[in-house]
Amino acid sequence: MIAALTIAERQRAIAISAVLALCGFAMTIAGSDTLFAVHGAIVLLFSLGCIGLVMSQYFAPEPSDERLTRYYDDPTRVGIVLSLGWAVVGMFFGVWVAALLAWPDLTFDAAWASFGRLRPVHTSGVIFGFGGNALIATSFHVLQRTTRARLPDQFSPWFVLIGYNLFCVLAASGYLMGVTQSKEYAEPEWYADIWLVVVWVVYFLIYIRTLQRRKEPHIYVANWYYMAFILVVAVLHIVNNLAVPISFGEAKSYSLFSGVQDAMTQWWYGHNAVAFFLTSGFLGMMYYYLPKRAGRPIFSYRLSIISFWGITFMYMWAGSHHLHYTALPQWVQTLGMTFSVVLLVPSWASAGNALATLNGAWGKVRDDATLRFMMVAAVFYGLSTFEGSFMAIRAVNSLSHYTDWTVGHVHAGALGWVAMITFGSLYALVPWMWKVERMYSPKLIEVHFWLALAGTVIYVFAMWNSGIIQGLMWRTYNDSGTLAYSFIDSLVAMHPYYIARTVGGLLFLLGAIVASYNVWMTIRMSRSQPEAEAGDADLPVLQGAALQAGE
Amino acid sequence: MREFFHRKLERSAIGFVLAIIGVSAIGGFVEIAPLFTIGETVEKAPDMRVYTPLELAGRNIYIREGCYACHSQMIRTLRDEVERYGPYSLAVESKYDHPMLWGSKRTGPDIARLGGKYSDAWHVAHLINPRDVVPQSVMPRYGWLMRSELKTEDLGRHLKAQRAVGVPYTDAAGRNRHLRLRDVELGHHPGPDVAHLQ
């Protein structure tokens, strides 16, 4: 990996790592005995590790210019591995916190091990760790293939990937130590947020620089989505995380907005993190890997245009449906509800486009678990966007809000759509990346598929049941006109569903472990076989290799 | 036939970027910006006061421990909620909350109006082991809070940052802080980190 970098790139890597190490050192000094200093030490060690890694092969011979005739895929390979690592970690924490709701004493008598600190490790671990790494890895791959241009340089993709993972490490370790803004899905404190902005700007620059060098006149659909993901997430992240730290040597900060304005900003962010991180990004993935794997062109080019601009425009209005019947002014609630309902049109346009693409390839869906992952993902995408529009209706929301129904809805999307499309794409991508004919074990993909599907269905049904029961119990009156159930009555009624949910999550975690094993063995398999010629169809100079808009 | 407009847009990376930014910016702008300018968004309540420094420190423990993941502090304008939890929440009640902690999930009950409902002794016992007082509870034990020291020497910097984001703390509040803290130090409370309940 390091040997593939030019000497100048190795020097740049060392220089940037050294600057980062200096920042870490400064944080340690400024923080003295606070948690800020602990994070400084983590930054310092992390960057020293990077320097060590580069130094270990610093004197390896420089790569020849022949490299420029090939795509640059090393960061994608590492990104895939990191993504699976975070998947296992994030889902493990998920199963743990799920179990805690059924058996609350299943933990240690220590601050770091309490539910409130573990939960964000789960959410950030799976969303940012697993999802984010998968998005970065696949976007580099898709970008090069659809533009027939190599990444502009070999250093900046590493900066993005490694820098992003430093952010994830700061986030997760911070939660365990009690460093959090308590803004849902935007928990990391100000310095981690600033670091993410730096990483993100470089990510955007890679994208735009590669697009400018493209050998295809048109920008393919997948790239529209990846670009929307990068751009809008940047805007959301910056605005929602505006805050004033109590000092530049402490982790704690106070958000710039308060009360109702903060609530609206937070859910404008929160819902569009769902839209542009968990939807747009993964739609980009779907628009490349699904037609590739099915061997069929996208069903309708016009439908992809409608769904892309529909999603990009309308999602940004939908956030206020998280705040129905609250102190948020009614007019904002109504706008949010209206746009959420209309959002069903572009959402189903995408889901329908994906499923119609499979028309004529259903035999492959039956036989190929990888393609089946993608098919099921499209189905769950359709289901959960329908459910989302439905739950955004004020009257429905009065029942569903604050209950497990929301949790079930999120997981129908996260497990059924995001994770399934990711696993499907990774199973398609891994053999290409490691230049082997197929995954180590197709049978294990099949096993994973059924584990994942069973886990998702159990989880979602458990949460639908518990959520609706909860919502109904809270609003049930007895004959004398008083509330029929105490809060604790509703909690007791949840117990069996919390156990079922834990089981569903556990099955899903097992699936992720199976996937990691399968990928690991595929990598090992690739090492033991001589360099295959599979790369031939994969060169930037080759004509007609890329998927094109309108194709 | 005239070339489809979108085919042209697809050929310009910069054009596409600008189009995405423009199209996506509208919704948030229309919904958020007016909340700062329309006066009636937040009710007038002359008796609304800022948090005392000690309350702020307690609130920061609530933030640190991620309590919002299970408890809401936003009673909706629904009959059953008002009967269960008390009068529905007003925007003005969280106008000094940086960030707001309305929450999104009730694994436990809403606690916007919990203050004063139970005795301090009940809260201490409940935090140490919730199942001692509510056998069916699934809340985490917070016994370790008894062993962790509440830092107070940095409260001045907290108040300054609060003032920077718009909370009207006066210099008198800074002096008052010492008063309040001394009150606490003299009080009979079991451990520093649960002091905010006293």
Mind listing the pLDDT tens digit for each residue in B24-62?
999 999 999 999 999 889 999 888 999 999 999 999 999
Residues 6 or more apart whose CB falls under 8 angstroms from that of A71 comprise: A141, A144, A145, A150, A151, A538, A539, A540
CB-nearest partner of A312 from B23, B41, B105: B23
CA atoms of A118 and A187, how far apart (whole Å): 12
> Which of A491, A501, A547 is the best mutation test for B, with the most CBs of B within 10 A?
A491
pLDDT confidence tier of residue B170, bands split at 50, 70 and 90: confident
CB-nearest partner of A488 from B11, B134, B162: B134
Question: Which residues does chain B have within 8 Å of residue A181's beta carbon, measured at their own beta carbons?
Answer: 63, 99
Report which residue type is found at A306.
I
Within 10 Å of residue A327's Cβ, how many Cβ atoms? 25
Task: Check pLDDT > 80 for residue B187.
Answer: no
Q: How far is CA A478 from CA A395, A481, B76, B165, in A?
A: 22, 5, 21, 47
A379 or B197: whose pLDDT is higher? A379
pLDDT confidence tier of residue B174, bands split at 50, 70 and 90: low
pLDDT score, position B186: 38
Ramachandran region of residue A394, left (φ > 0), alpha (ψ -120 to 50) or beta? Answer: alpha
Residue B152 in contact with partner chain A when CB distance is under 8 A: no
Spell out the per-residue pLDDT of chain A, length 551, in tens.
Answer: 889 999 999 999 999 999 999 999 999 999 988 999 999 999 999 999 999 999 999 999 999 999 999 999 999 999 999 999 999 999 999 999 999 999 999 999 999 999 999 999 999 999 999 999 999 999 999 999 999 999 999 999 999 999 999 999 999 999 999 999 999 999 999 999 999 999 999 999 999 999 999 999 999 999 999 999 999 999 999 999 999 999 999 999 999 999 999 999 999 999 999 899 999 999 999 999 999 999 999 999 999 999 999 999 999 999 999 999 999 999 999 999 999 999 999 999 999 999 999 999 999 999 999 999 999 999 999 999 999 999 999 999 999 999 999 999 999 999 999 999 999 999 999 999 999 999 999 999 999 999 999 999 999 999 999 999 999 999 999 999 999 999 999 999 999 999 999 999 999 999 999 999 999 999 999 998 766 554 445 555 444 445 555 44
> Which of B3, B16, B24 is the best mutation test for A, with the most CBs of A within 10 A?
B24
Q: How many CB pairs under 8 A join A and B?
A: 265
Q: Do B31 and A252 touch (CB under 8 A)?
A: no
The two three-digit tokens of residue A477, written as one number: 């009156």
Nearest Cα to Cα of residue A282 among A508, A453, A127, A131: A131
pLDDT confidence tier of residue B173, bands split at 50, 70 and 90: low
Residue B85 in contact with partner chain A when CB distance is under 8 A: no
pLDDT score, position A504: 98
Expressed in percent and rounded to 5, the helix, strand and coil fractions of chain B are: 55, 0, 45
Strands (E), B50-108: none
Assembly ipTM: 0.94
**Upstream peptide bond of A431 is cis (omega within 30 degrees of 0):** no
Task: Check pLDDT > 70 for residue B185.
Answer: no
Question: Which residues does chain B have within 8 Å of residue A259's beta carbon, measured at their own beta carbons?
Answer: 42, 91-97, 100
CA atoms of A178 and B64, how far apart (whole Å): 5
pLDDT score, position A539: 54
Residue B74 in contact with partner chain A when CB distance is under 8 A: yes
CA atoms of A378 and A285, how far apart (whole Å): 12
Q: Long-range contacts made by residues A233-236, C-beta under 8 angstroms, separation at least 24?
A: A233/A200, A233/A273, A233/A276, A233/A277, A234/A197, A234/A200, A234/A201, A234/A204, A235/B21, A235/B24, A235/B25, A236/A268, A236/A269, A236/A272, A236/A273, A236/A276
Question: Which residues does chain A have within 8 Å of residue B21's beta carbon, measured at their own beta carbons?
Answer: 231, 235
- Cα A155 to chain centroid distance, Å, stands at 23
Residue B48 in contact with partner chain A when CB distance is under 8 A: no
Question: Which residues does chain A have within 8 Å of residue B89's beta carbon, measured at their own beta carbons?
Answer: 326-327
Cβ burial, residue A397 (10 Å; 0-12/13-18/19+): buried
Nearest CA in chain B to A324: B76
Find tokens 């004063």 and name the residue. Answer: B116
Q: By the 8 A CB rule, do A156 and A205 touch? A: yes
Largest CA distance in chain A: 85
pLDDT score, position A363: 95
Q: Which of residues 6-45 of B touch A (CB under 8 A)?
A: 6-7, 10-11, 13-14, 16-17, 20-21, 23-28, 30-32, 35-36, 38, 40-42
CA atoms of B77 and A394, how far apart (whole Å): 12
Question: Which residues does chain B have within 8 Å of residue A107's beta carbon, measured at their own beta carbons?
Answer: 140
| pTM of the complete model | 0.94
CA atoms of A445 and A456, how far apart (whole Å): 16
Strands (E), A24-153: none
CA atoms of A358 and A370, how far apart (whole Å): 13
pLDDT score, position A192: 98
Question: Which residues does chain A have within 8 Å of residue B191's beta carbon, measured at their own beta carbons?
Answer: none
pLDDT score, position B176: 53
pLDDT, average across residues B125-147: 96
Q: Do A256 and B165 touch (CB under 8 A)?
A: yes
DSSP A537: G
